[in-house]
A = this chain, B = another copy of it.
């Protein structure tokens, strides 16, 4: 399935897939709650994990670090897919390993590097298929989170009124095509750039994820929040107007009637309905 096909997909994720979209700087030392959730969703000690460190310029070090972490948790089968050139993704060794994987973890680094190495390669097409079938649990942190949408935030600034030049948009890997993901979200003051991104693509939904926080996309199209910070939903579903496409790239953007949710650990958001799923204690609060 190509990216453009993924782009046309009407669902956010397949029925059974779990995709952990992590805002970066997840706890790697103490409770490791998010990484442990990935490990358990991947099958625990029976899991077969692939680590893709290609976003990083130090893939060996970062790959090794996650290998140790998941190994410490009890995973016996872990491979680092240290792809540094596009041709490597055609290597049948990786292809075969992926076929039997139960969990794939994409590390941080530079999301542009990640996409330039992996977009539209046979390996990514296979991974997309496995995720859509629900055959693997996918996780991405930081740059590995940024690539989830069809439209991807490649970079940008802060401390400005929302404007198109505040955010560099390009094409992501499209695992969650309807989303525009931003990470290190409140930690790096990225609300203005996410609003800017959403104003340019109001058919998507903006998801801002804080550090040590995970938006866990689960079968049946629900996001559940895991971790220490917040997941911010910037939903243009009811947007009544934006001037974003009619102004110069440095002009401030008007955008009316966004829906804004800030979610914390345990909160759930229903993507197709674009609504909060209120647990009992919240309904009575």
Looking at A65-73, A87-95, A137-145, A157-165, the stretch in contact with chain B turns out to be A157-165
Q: What separation, in Å, do the CA atoms of A243 and B282 have in the docked complex?
A: 8
**A37: Cβ under 8 A from any B Cβ:** no
Given A191-B191, A253-B230, A263-B254, A241 and B159 contact (CB-CB distance below 8 Å): no
Residues of B within 8 A of A255 (CB): 261-262
**A45: Cβ under 8 A from any B Cβ:** no
Nearest first, the 3 A-B pairs at minimum CB distance are A189-B189, A258-B260, A161-B229
Are A256 and B264 in contact, with the CB atoms below 8 A? no
Are B252 and A276 in contact, with the CB atoms below 8 A? no
A71 to chain B, nearest CB (A): 31
Q: What separation, in Å, do the CA atoms of A258 and B264 have in the docked complex?
A: 15
Are A262 and B267 in contact, with the CB atoms below 8 A? no
**A186: Cβ under 8 A from any B Cβ:** yes
> Which single residue of chain B is at the shortest CB-CB distance from A163?
B230
Chain A residues within 8 Å of B, Cβ to Cβ? 158-162, 186-189, 191-192, 195, 199, 210, 213, 228-230, 234, 240-241, 243, 246, 251-265, 267, 276, 278, 282-283, 285
A30 to chain B, nearest CB (A): 17
6 A-B pairs, CB-CB below 8 angstroms? A158-B189, A161-B187, A161-B210, A189-B192, A240-B278, A243-B264
Are A230 and B162 in contact, with the CB atoms below 8 A? yes
Q: What separation, in Å, do the CA atoms of A89 and B228 have in the docked complex?
A: 48
Q: How many copies does the complex hold?
A: 2
Are A195 and B262 in contact, with the CB atoms below 8 A? yes
Indicate which residue in B162, B187, B199, B262 contacts A186 across the interface (CB closer than 8 Å): B162
Are B264 and A252 in contact, with the CB atoms below 8 A? yes
Residues of B within 8 A of A263 (CB): 254, 256
Residues of B within 8 A of A259 (CB): 257-260
A280 to chain B, nearest CB (A): 12
Residues of B within 8 A of A230 (CB): 161-162, 252-254
Are B192 and A191 in contact, with the CB atoms below 8 A? yes
Given A158-B189, A285-B241, A285-B243, A254 and B260 contact (CB-CB distance below 8 Å): no
> Which single residue of chain B is at the shortest CB-CB distance from A23?
B161
Are B258 and A253 in contact, with the CB atoms below 8 A? no
Q: What separation, in Å, do the CA atoms of A162 and B186 have in the docked complex?
A: 8
**Residue among A191, A263, A267, A278 with max Cβ neighbours from chain B (10 Å):** A191
A sample of 20 more A-B contacts (CB under 8 A), given A241-B276, A243-B264, A246-B285, is: A159-B186, A159-B187, A161-B213, A161-B228, A161-B230, A162-B262, A191-B192, A195-B260, A240-B278, A241-B283, A243-B282, A243-B285, A252-B262, A253-B262, A253-B264, A254-B282, A255-B261, A256-B276, A258-B259, A258-B261
